[in-house]
């Protein structure tokens, strides 16, 4: 028995929508209504269910419409839907990834990187203009320590060949001596010179920053991620002072007895909610347990981006521990008279537990990428069905990345999850490996039987239930894109693609192309081409590069 395409609930039509409306009555009303309605060229069947009227769409029309639409719109299929016709095209700034130079590129940065990339991809696909910003932790007292550390333990060759690794090692070493009064004084001096723009000190710092960015770019390339702008805290030294003056001029900055600068965010102005913005010695940004700290630099960065890009929406992608920080940041901007603060958004995500490589804890993003590639290569070489493929290492990387991304995107972004290599890399079940495998299989089907041509397709050959299931699912793609565009959650697209892959796998078994009559084979090829095309579109939005061989 087939499932109806559309269903109308009788209860939603009745005036007295109360429970005393007996199921019997509803069923009777449904039958009466179904008898009065007539089929036409679009609706081929109308029947009554328990309290519902069911409609079935003309199967040939369904097949023809869906295939033509997928074929015509190509990579824009779903995006051109009338669902998006009233959505205004906008300019969005997305700040994501944002690692701290010389510190661990931890797994939270990986999450921020892939989530931010997805949001930017989705916005671009929907016709918005997007500026991707990486806001680096490239300033602060730690650079005083790092400068002193480099003078003691640094190695220029190592800095050139692996800057992230080397600066991290130097930082760890100098941190062991950070309590030593002499080291403290040297670090303070180094940072003071930086703030005073001493040429020699600045050139050391600039080298740390430039070489780190070069290496970041190379690693991001492996992830398929790029940025339009590498910004950082260092850009906002002077502008932070302007913000301080603005806060003072507007009477928003108050001093506590200890001389700490705070901004009162409470509704009754009774200091029940305050945000600390300045230390008693006048420097901004320090962390204490009782206050939330807002850096003048973050305020300055937000204002500067508005002046530079005049955006319609600005999205910050970080872990949920920073929720209060952004709440306060937006509140202070609003108090300063910037109404656009309401168009700022914090997309937060939960924590990943248990991400380890065989060598132990993950320190660098590159460790994760190398690990997933080598594990995937092992799995591929141990599988009997693995064909000889042209570039096994690159394929392993793309499939491994798909595995990481799908495991991360399957649930709500705000939930924490336990990472598991075994679960992520399974080839069966709801994994990124399964998506890649399905895409490669459908691709090889087209290579084996030649490309499908839509012009001469006989849609009467696509009436089997398994073909209809795929077509019905393809028809819903725009709804899924719309949901993700509303709440910026990738999980809707992920579950859609996994279902599409399962339906395509069943159809691949029950609807063979090989050995079928020519018009049947041609129609089926067209169906599989459409499924592969939509699968590839969805994967690219998520930041996955589809593979053609596996």
Q: Return the active site residues.
A: 103, 106, 109
8 A C-beta contact, residue 496 and residue 544: no
Cβ within 8 Å of residue 491, ≥6 positions away: 409, 410, 411, 412, 413
Alpha carbon 246 to its chain centroid, in Å, reads 35
Round to whole Å and give the CA distance between 354 and 148. 34
Residue 46 three-state SS: strand
- Show the tokens assigned to 271: 């200091």
Q: b/e map of 484-501 (b: 16 or more CB within 10 Å)?
A: bbeebbbbbbbebbbebb
Neighbouring-strand partners of residue 315: 94, 345
DSSP-H helix ranges across 296-388: 296-309, 323-335, 365-382
DSSP 428-468: SSSSHHHHHHHHHHHHHHHHHH----STT--GGG--SHHHH
Round to whole Å and give the CA distance between 432 and 329. 37
- Show the tokens assigned to 295: 């850096």
Q: Which of 227, 176, 229, 237 is nearest to 205 (CA)?
A: 237
* CA distances in angstroms from 228 to 129, 130, 314, listed in the order given: 12, 9, 15
Residue found under tokens 């770019």: 217
């Amino acid at each position: 028995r087939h499932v109806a395409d559309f269903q109308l609930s009788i209860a939603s039509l009745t005036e007295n929508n109360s429970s005393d409306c007996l199921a019997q009555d509803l069923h009777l009303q449904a039958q009466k209504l179904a008898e009065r309605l007539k089929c036409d060229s679009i609706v081929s069947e109308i029947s009554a269910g328990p309290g519902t009227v069911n409609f079935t769409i003309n199967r040939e029309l369904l097949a023809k419409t869906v295939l033509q639409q997928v074929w015509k719109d190509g990579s824009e299929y779903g995006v051109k839907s009338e669902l998006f016709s009233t959505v205004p095209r906008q300019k969005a700034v997305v700040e994501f990834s944002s690692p701290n130079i010389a510190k661990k590129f931890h797994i939270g940065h990986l999450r921020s990187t892939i989530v931010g990339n997805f949001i930017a991809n989705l916005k671009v696909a929907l016709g918005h203009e997007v500026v991707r910003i990486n806001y680096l932790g490239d300033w602060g007292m730690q650079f005083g320590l790092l400068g002193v550390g480099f003078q003691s333990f640094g190695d220029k060759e190592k800095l050139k060949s692996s800057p992230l690794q080397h600066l991290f090692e130097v930082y760890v070493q100098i941190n062991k001596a950070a309590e030593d009064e002499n080291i403290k004084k040297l670090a303070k001096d180094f940072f003071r010179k930086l703030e005073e723009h001493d040429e020699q000190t600045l050139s050391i710092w600039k080298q740390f920053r430039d070489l780190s960015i070069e290496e970041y770019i190379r690693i991001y390339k492996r992830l398929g991620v790029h940025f339009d702008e590498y910004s950082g805290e260092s850009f906002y030294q002077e502008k932070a002072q302007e913000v301080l003056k603005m806060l003072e001029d507007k009477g928003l900055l108050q001093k506590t007895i200890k001389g700490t600068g705070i901004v009162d965010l409470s509704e009754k102005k009774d200091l029940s909610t305050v945000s600390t913005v300045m230390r008693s010695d006048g420097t901004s940004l320090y962390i204490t347990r009782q206050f939330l700290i807002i850096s003048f630099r973050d305020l300055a960065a937000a204002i500067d981006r508005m002046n530079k890009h005049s955006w319609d929406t600005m999205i910050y992608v970080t872990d949920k521990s920073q929720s209060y920080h952004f709440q306060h940041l937006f509140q202070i901007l609003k108090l300063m008279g910037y109404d656009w603060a309401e168009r700022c958004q914090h997309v937060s995500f939960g924590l990943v537990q248990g991400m380890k490589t065989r060598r132990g804890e993950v320190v660098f993003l590159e460790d994760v990428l190398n690990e997933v590639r080598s594990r995937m290569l092992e799995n591929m070489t141990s599988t009997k069905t693995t064909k000889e493929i042209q570039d096994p290492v690159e394929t392993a990387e793309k499939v491994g990345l798909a595995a990481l991304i799908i495991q991360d995107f399957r649930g709500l972004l705000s939930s924490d999850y336990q990472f598991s290599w075994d679960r992520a890399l399974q080839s069966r079940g709801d994994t990124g490996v399964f998506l890649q495998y399905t895409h490669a299989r459908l691709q090889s089907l087209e290579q084996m039987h030649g490309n499908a041509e839509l012009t001469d397709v006989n849609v009467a050959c696509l009436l089997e239930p398994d073909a209809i299931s795929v077509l019905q699912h393809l028809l819903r793609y725009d709804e899924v894109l719309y949901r993700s565009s509303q709440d910026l959650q990738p999980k809707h697209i992920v579950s859609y693609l996994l279902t599409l892959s399962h339906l395509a796998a069943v159809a691949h078994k029950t609807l063979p192309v090989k050995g079928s009559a020519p018009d049947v084979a041609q129609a089926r090829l067209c169906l599989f081409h459409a499924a592969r095309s939509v699968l590839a579109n969805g994967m690219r939005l998520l930041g996955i590069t589809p593979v053609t061989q596996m």
